[in-house]
Amino acid sequence: MTEQTKTRTTKQSFRELQIWRKSMELTVVIYRLTKAFPREESFGLTAQLRRSAISIPSNIAEGHGRMNPREFRRFLLIARGSNCELQTQLELATALQFADVQSLKSAQSLSYEVENMLFALLSRLRNNST
């Protein structure tokens, strides 16, 4: 049985995926972080950061729900793109000093962890499809 097949048979719900759990944690961190952003940023960087963050676990869940390895991989790539957006926005928030440095660094660190997990899962899926 391949790792991919094992994943499908042992992971009945996207909620069981470590990458989904970690990206949900990241989303909560982003929501808490952006509460401290300037009020005039509500429809700007705050909203954009939140949309990018929420897109990551949402795409992981949707791809997993498709129950098709090719579709799952496609949605993981979308999640990866959203995480790259998030990292860019966090750098901008840092440059604009919208929150304390430690909170921003913590969010960035969590985003890098999600990035590594996405890369590892995508690599596994690619290796199993060849």
Residues 6+ apart with CB under 8 A from 103: 33, 36
Segment 44-64 mean pLDDT = 97
Q: Which residue segment(s) compose the domain that 90 sits in?
A: 3-129
Segment 13-18 mean pLDDT = 95
Mean pLDDT, all residues of the chain: 91
| Between residues 128 and 60, the one the model is more confident about | 60
Number of domains making up the chain: 1
Question: What is the CATH classification number for the domain harbouring 46?
Answer: 1.20.1440.60
The SS3 call for residue 66 is coil
Task: Please count the other Cβ atoms lying within 10 Å of the Cβ belonging to residue 68.
Answer: 13
Contact 19, 114 (CB under 8 A): yes
pLDDT of amino acid 83 = 98
Task: Measure the CA–CA gap between 7 and 1, rounded to whole angstroms.
Answer: 10
pLDDT at 43 over 80: yes
pLDDT interval class at 130 (50, 70, 90): low
Q: What is the pTM assigned to this prediction?
A: 0.88
pLDDT at 111 over 50: yes
pLDDT of amino acid 8 = 45
Which has the closest alpha carbon to 34: 54, 59, 58? 54
Task: Measure the CA–CA gap between 130 and 127, rounded to whole angstroms.
Answer: 6
